[in-house]
């Protein structure tokens, strides 16, 4: 178990910023204690300082998990998010939504029809309720 190097931190933050943007700051700088990112077995864990100190007593090979696993580094040193990170990403998420008709519906339409792919944030419906068709 060790802290991330600068390159690793950049990889992790760049990935996280795609989902929660500036809100990564809230993960690092928390009022309820010190939280940190740690790397063990190529996996990045997010945990409190206290928990990390306790986990340090367990040898690296035997340590299965600590805190929340955010993702892992591939052998080409790319960072991949894991589903376990969702708990932390969901509250800060930018709320991006994608809507489209289903593929079967799109296939059935006549050749002149234009199919739109709509990407919207979560507040769009509330803001533009009157004008939306």
Partner 1 sequence: MDSLVQSVLKSSAEKESKYKTTEVVKDIEVDIDEGHLLAVDPNPLDIKLLRSERDSYLKALARNDTQLLINKIWELPVERVEDVIVAKLPEPRTVVPREKPLPKEKPMTKWTQYAREKGINKRKKGRMVWDETAKEWKPRWGYKRAGDDTKDWLIEVPDTADPYEDQFAKRIKAKKERVAKNELQRLRNIARNMKGKVPGVGLTPTDTPDKDDVSRALHLARKSTASLGKFTQELPKEKPAKHVGKKRKFEPMIGNFNEEKKRALDILNKITNKQPTLNITQATNQEIYTEEDQKRIGKGGRNHLEGKAEANKTGTGRASQKEKAGVEKAMVKRDEHPSS
Residues that bind partner 1 in the complex, under the rule CB under 8 A: 1-3, 5-6, 9-10, 13-14, 17, 21-22, 24-25, 28-29, 34, 36-38, 49, 52-53, 56
- The CA radius of gyration of the chain, in Å to the nearest whole number, is 20
Closest distance to partner 1 from the beta carbon of 62 (Å): 16
Q: Which is nearer to partner 1, 17 or 128 (CB)?
A: 17
Contact yes or no for 38/56 (Cβ under 8 A): no
Please state, in angstroms and rounded to a whole number, the distance separating the CA atoms of residues 116 and 32: 45
Closest distance to partner 1 from the beta carbon of 23 (Å): 10
Helix (H) or strand (E) holding 129: none
Q: Cβ of 55: how many Cβ atoms within 10 Å?
A: 17
Q: Which is nearer to partner 1, 53 or 82 (CB)?
A: 53
């Amino acid at each position: 178990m060790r802290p991330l190097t600068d390159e690793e931190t950049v990889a992790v933050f760049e990935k996280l910023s795609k989902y929660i943007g500036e809100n990564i700051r809230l993960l690092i700088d928390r009022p309820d204690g010190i939280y940190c990112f740690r790397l063990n077995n190529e996996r990045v864990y997010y945990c409190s300082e206290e928990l990390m100190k306790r986990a340090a007593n367990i040898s690296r090979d035997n340590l299965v998990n600590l805190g929340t696993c955010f993702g892992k580094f591939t052998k080409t040193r790319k960072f991949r998010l894991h589903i376990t990170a969702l708990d932390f990403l969901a509250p800060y998420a930018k709320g991006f939504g994608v809507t489209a008709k289903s593929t079967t519906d799109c296939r059935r339409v006549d050749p002149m029809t234009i199919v739109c792919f709509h990407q919207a944030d979560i507040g769009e419906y509330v803001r533009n309720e009157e004008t939306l068709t």
